Amino acid sequence: MNRAAEAASEIVDEFGFLDDWEDRYQLLIDLGRRLPPLPTHYKTDEYQLRGCQSVVHFAAETKDGEITFHAGSDAAIVQGLIALLLRVYSDRTADEIRDTEAAFLSEIGLDSHLSATRKTGLASMLTAIKAAAG
């Protein structure tokens, strides 16, 4: 199993311990709060991700064969979603990113608990991640 798939599996396990959706939202928000702040130079129009209801800045850089993602949002839930995506896909090889589907998001029930606009934004972030991996 690649590192991205391992991280996705860990997320499914962590959310699986929580039965209540309020608790899952709280975990999501907490994960977002623990992300390091997005460096200021990424908080420009150049890095703003289109298709998101909230303001999301997103950048990718490749170093030593691994792709690192930098992202941040002004919305707590979205910041939590970013935390999940970065945990799975950041600091991975392009192959790991391409080979790891985002099934973990539906496995933890997010697909049925996010608004349509949040789902669209999430899809935009995933598209940008996959595009960076070629």
The model's pLDDT over 74-83, given as tens digits with 9 standing for 90+, comes to 899 999 999 9
User: Which of 4, 11, 31, 52 is the catalytic position?
Assistant: 52
The residues near 128 (Cβ < 8 Å, ≥ 6 apart) are 49, 58, 60
Average pLDDT over residues 3-28: 94
| Residue 23 backbone phi and psi in degrees, to 5 | -65, -40
Average pLDDT, the chain: 93
> pLDDT-based confidence at 50, cuts 50/70/90?
confident
What's the pTM?
A: 0.94
Q: What span, in angstroms and rounded, lies between the C-alpha atoms of 76 and 127?
A: 21
Structure token digits, residue 91: 């600091």
Residue 53 pLDDT more than 90? no
* Span 90-122, pLDDT tens digits: 999 999 999 999 999 999 988 788 888 888 889
Average pLDDT over residues 17-43: 94
Average pLDDT over residues 24-40: 95
Average pLDDT over residues 10-15: 96
pLDDT confidence of residue 38: 94
Tell which phi-psi region holds residue 131, choosing left (phi > 0), alpha (psi between -120 and 50) or beta: alpha
Distance, C-alpha 17 to centroid of its chain: 20
Q: Are 38 and 50 in contact (CB under 8 A)?
A: no
Q: Domains along the chain?
A: 3-132 (3.90.1010.10)
Active site residue 52: yes
pLDDT confidence of residue 43: 95
pLDDT confidence of residue 52: 73
Structure token digits, residue 80: 């939590």
pLDDT confidence of residue 36: 92
Report which of 43, 115, 34, 40 is spatially closest to residue 76, judged by C-alpha positions: 34
